[in-house]
Amino acid sequence: MKNYLWTIVLVASFTALVGCATQAPSGKDFNAVQLSTARYGQKVDTFVIVQDASSSMNGKYMGRSKFDIAKETLSRMNQTIPQLDFNVGLVAFSGGCFNDAEVLYGLAPYNRDDLSGGLAKLTCAGGMTPMNAGINHANSKLLTGLGLGQIAMFIVSDGISDASHPSGGNGGKTNALDAAKKLKDQLGDRVCIYPIQIGNEPDGEEFMDKLAKIGGCGFTSNAVEISSPKTMASYVIKTLLRPVRAALVADPADTSPEKITFSADALFDFDKAVLKSKGKQSLDNLTIKLGGVKYDVIVVVGYTDRIGSEDYNKQLSVRRANAVKSYLVSKGIDANDVFVDGKGEANPITGTTCIGKGMQTKALIACLQPDRRVEIEIAGAREAKW
């Protein structure tokens, strides 16, 4: 009997976050994964790109110009996005090349060749970092019309202000965060912010994480993490697309589970990052099922509860993510097929139900158990034999 897999979600303990690449995107040919419009529809209606073209982007990262890496990353993204009915816009910001902020493309119906023409206008980087002007410009020039629906904003930058300029330094970052808050206040749940960091400066990553947190539903990625065809496909799926169930189920009589739920203690003991035997058995069951499935990518999204500091929870999520991913890879899953994203304390399932349970008590730990979870989604799954 043939079944068709739609989505598998594994809910387990705490969070999975980032799998690291080791090389910067290169100038070599990029063989983009072709994501079929028969299997994917739009999760958002509109996406806008806000590109940093300030002088710090002329700096080197792993032997290459950050500005060149940024342009290449966006080109690869454009090659991967399927031709669906998106609205799209592109804004560049700098104090040298683009008069604070300028629209280079859109807002217009998405067309790969047309957006490529807009990206070709990114010809130089220089001057200060008026990211606030870039965000405000995208908001006022591109996102004020009707019918824009759900919106994804990609902010591509090294996350570093040019302190030598009057609008740079920490004041520039504060202004950018204020602009992001204004955007969120105006658009509410309709907008998610997805920063893409070019470079590896810790303060840049911290700043980009703050931008994502303001959006509430986005996450920060590094360009090296999405540089391969498979990881870029994963990124596009996670930010812009949703699987189309009707395209996956050929025979209505065939059924398969949409979600597999395990207890929060399935993988780890509390506050630990070592897989226990029961957790390994749960992952074994998943990999056995995946052995009969053809899929595009595996998307892992992790969450923590609110006990402990935000920084500690994020670090714990990374350790646990590495443990889960390493185990899946040891069972034959291609590491390049797995895209991981950590949400930390965001989107708690428990909401306000655990208020009044005390601080770090057994009652609170038990109450917050649903928030400690890992969701594993099999995206673009096709024919499977069980």
Residue spans per domain, the chain: 26-227, 243-385
Judged on CB neighbours under 10 Å (0-12, 13-18, 19+), 223 is buried
Q: Which of the listed CATH numbers 3.30.420.480, 3.30.1330.60, 3.30.70.260, 1.10.1370.20 matches domain 243-385?
A: 3.30.1330.60
Tokens of 252: 């209505």
What pLDDT score does 24 carry? 57
CATH code for the domain defined by 26-227: 3.40.50.410
Question: Residue 45: which region, alpha, beta or left (left: phi > 0; alpha: psi -120 to 50)?
Answer: alpha
pLDDT attached to residue 187: 93
End-to-end CA distance of the chain: 7
DSSP state of 46: E
In order of 35, 105, 168, 174, 230, the CA distances from 236 in angstroms are 9, 20, 31, 29, 10
pLDDT value for 78: 97
| Torsion-angle region of 169 (φ positive above 0: left; ψ -120 to 50: alpha; else: beta) | left
pLDDT (0 to 100) of residue 86:
96
* Confidence (pLDDT) at 48: 98
Residue-level pLDDT, tens digit, the chain, 386 residues:
334 344 444 444 333 333 333 455 554 578 998 888 888 889 999 999 999 999 999 999 999 999 999 999 999 999 999 999 999 999 999 988 998 999 999 899 999 999 999 999 999 999 988 999 999 999 999 998 767 899 999 999 999 876 544 444 455 899 999 999 999 999 998 999 999 999 999 999 999 999 999 998 888 999 998 999 988 998 998 899 987 753 434 333 333 333 444 554 677 777 887 888 888 888 888 888 777 666 767 777 777 888 888 878 877 777 777 788 888 888 888 887 777 777 777 778 888 888 876 666 788 888 888 888 877 777 655 544 43
Predicted local confidence at residue 385, as pLDDT: 42
Residues near 72 by beta carbon (within 8 Å), at least 6 away in sequence: 25, 27
